[in-house]
Amino acid sequence: MGRYVLRRLLQMVPVFVGTTFLIYALVWAVPGDPFEGKCGERDCPDAYVAMMRDRFNLDDPLLLQYWKYLVNLVQGDFGVTSSGVQVVDRIVTAFPVTLKLALVALLIEAVIGITAGVVSGLRNRGFLDSLVLVSTLFLISIPVFVTGYVVQLVFGLQLGWIAPTVTTPSFGNLIVPGFVLASLSMAYVARLSRASIAENRRADYVRTALAKGLPTRRVVGVHLLRNSLIPVITFLGTDLGAFLGGAIVTEGIFNVPGVGGLVFRSILTKDGAMVTGVVTVLVLVYLLMTLLVDLLYAVLDPRIRYD
């Protein structure tokens, strides 16, 4: 196991370098003036432009620019914004909020999606199966921003059951935005769990366990569910990274002060340092989640070994 983890960590290095270089090049090497609009309606003075180009190493070749950025990044320096604010300070403030929202959404997605999928897979072609298929198709057909707007309007403004905006980003206050964020993925998890359960319930090991007289609950919970969760765990692991980077709409609807709003404002103001820093953190999250998912395979299926 230790050798496998070390090998995977070494494999992450070129992936991290390649993805961050691509991000850096797309942000800083695009045509146009990166300091346009920084001085209001008038053009920025030449002295200001020269100072900013020197600060962000824009007069160096692209590879040299990225090398200097990477050296600072390894030391924990994500750079500064055009207004002189440390990027890491803004990330440290906004990222925990989005992480809370993503974890709440992931928990809702896993509990409701897997439960609905298991019930549907075991009651194949029954009423519950049809109900799950229809409800998940309904959720898939509706964009997340429509779901968020309807939930906020109906349950927040008209009925008054929930707070229409998040005043304090605690776990309790993030349940409704987390449900909205997880609504689309929850439908996919339910369908994926249903298909996996329906396929594995006809496997030889399930029939053998039932023939030995094991209780149905134990067969489903210990044998059938563990083997069926492998593709679901893969989806959930990558979905956490998607929640962290794709929460812009949900955070905007419910006024959640997270990474989504930070990235959106940085894109509008053409703040390349902030965009690059946030996306770099998301790349690290994706890489760590894929490693964690691979390690969970051996926990779910004892036949998988990392030698």
Q: DSSP state, 80?
A: B
**What's residue 118's pLDDT?**
82
Give, for all 307 residues of the chain, the pLDDT tens digit.
667 777 777 888 888 888 888 888 887 766 666 666 566 666 667 776 777 777 777 777 888 888 888 888 888 888 777 777 788 888 888 888 888 888 888 898 889 988 888 888 777 777 777 888 888 888 888 888 888 888 888 887 787 777 777 777 778 788 888 888 888 888 888 888 888 887 777 777 777 777 777 777 777 777 777 777 778 888 888 788 778 776 778 888 888 888 877 887 777 777 778 888 888 888 888 888 888 877 777 666 666 665 5
Gap between the Cα atoms of 226 and 302, Å rounded: 10
How far is Cα of residue 273 from the mean position of the Cα atoms in its chain?
A: 21
Gap between the Cα atoms of 170 and 148, Å rounded: 19
Per-position DSSP letters for 245-301, written without gaps between them: HS-HHHHHHTT--SHHHHHHHHHHTT-HHHHHHHHHHHHHHHHHHHHHHHHHHHHH-
Q: Which domains does the chain have, with CATH numbers?
A: 17-74 (no CATH), 99-300 (1.10.3720.10)
**What's residue 300's pLDDT?**
64
Gap between the Cα atoms of 85 and 180, Å rounded: 32
Gap between the Cα atoms of 107 and 243, Å rounded: 12
Report the predicted TM-score, pTM, of the whole model to 2 decimal places.
0.78
The closest alpha carbon to 178, from 98, 241, 281, belongs to 98
